[in-house]
Amino acid sequence: MDWVRSVQANTSAIERRCASLPGRRSVKKAHQAAWLLKAISMIDLTTLSGDDTAGRVRRLVAKAAQPVRPDLLDQLGMTGLTTGAVCVYHEMIEPARATMDQLGVTLPIAAVSTGFPAGLSPFHLRVEEIRESVKAGATEIDIVISRRHVLTGNWQALYDEMRTFRDACGDAHVKAILATGELGSLRNVARASLVCMMAGADFIKTSTGKESVNATLPVSLVMIRAIRDYFDRTGYRVGYKPAGGFSKAKDAITYLALIKEELGNDWLSPHLFRFGASSLLGDIERQLEHHLTGHYSAGYRHPIG
């Protein structure tokens, strides 16, 4: 607890660091194409809408298995490229799994859980929801924390909650969604990140994508440095997932540059870094076609599922 309470965040320094990053870290031509292909392998291709259907999920999985048009991949010399995972509600786990079996591909299935996105359903139901999703075939569980524990500084309650969620996940990986846009300050973000890692989170994630403010570079820097501090003290690597708030290929490169500079190449892997932004894939595919042809194509020619 002393470690948690000692964590601070210098907002002005954080903002200066983030403001300078996009202009200083620009990659071009073949290097840019390579970074964008790497980014695709780290996308959690997601559909989390009230009007989701089995058909939509089947199309999503097909796109995850073949994220870029085959003719473009052939010209780039790439084979076997897939997204990092597909992310769906519990009811859509079965269609996702069935489609993967039909296509002969194996991708992680991430299910949002614990009363997503608000996390205000009864606690025992949130825990049972995790167990049901794991039983249905989810290999990753994206849980949402109780924001009130952070806003009131009740770090022990947050730890106990996260620990219970971790235990309910069993062998499935657990991503702790902090909903940073609702935590009030960067210091709260830093402390919540640390507590969730202490309680066993395999990933810490910025947002549900449903808040008014989702992933930002300052929030990302705070969470990434919490991951770095935790690794320095414990030797345990925790993953990071920014979600929502960006949709352009250049944003993906900026985030990858931030990861490379702050955490190193070990984190440039789907095992330790994911993007939660499905619309990002469409723009990346357009940029890859531009790299090969010199022309931008219409967005509708690159469906994202």
Q: Provide the annotated active-site residues.
A: 142, 205, 241
Q: Which residue has the tokens 């997601």?
A: 46
Rounded to 5°, the CA angle 42-14-228 comes to 50
User: Do residues 275 and 58 lie in contact, with contact meaning Cβ atoms separated by under 8 Å?
Assistant: no
**H-only helix segments in 25-82:** 29-40, 54-65, 70-76
Euclidean distance between CA atoms 100 and 102, whole angstroms: 5
Euclidean distance between CA atoms 139 and 19, whole angstroms: 36
Q: Which residues contact 219 (CB under 8 A, 6 or more apart)?
A: 180, 186, 189, 206
Quote the distance between the C-alpha of residue 204 and its chain's center: 8
Q: Are strands 173-177 and 85-88 parallel, antiparallel or unpaired?
A: unpaired
Euclidean distance between CA atoms 305 and 303, whole angstroms: 6
Q: Amino acid identity, residue 169? A: C
Q: Which residues contact 261 (CB under 8 A, 6 or more apart)?
A: 25
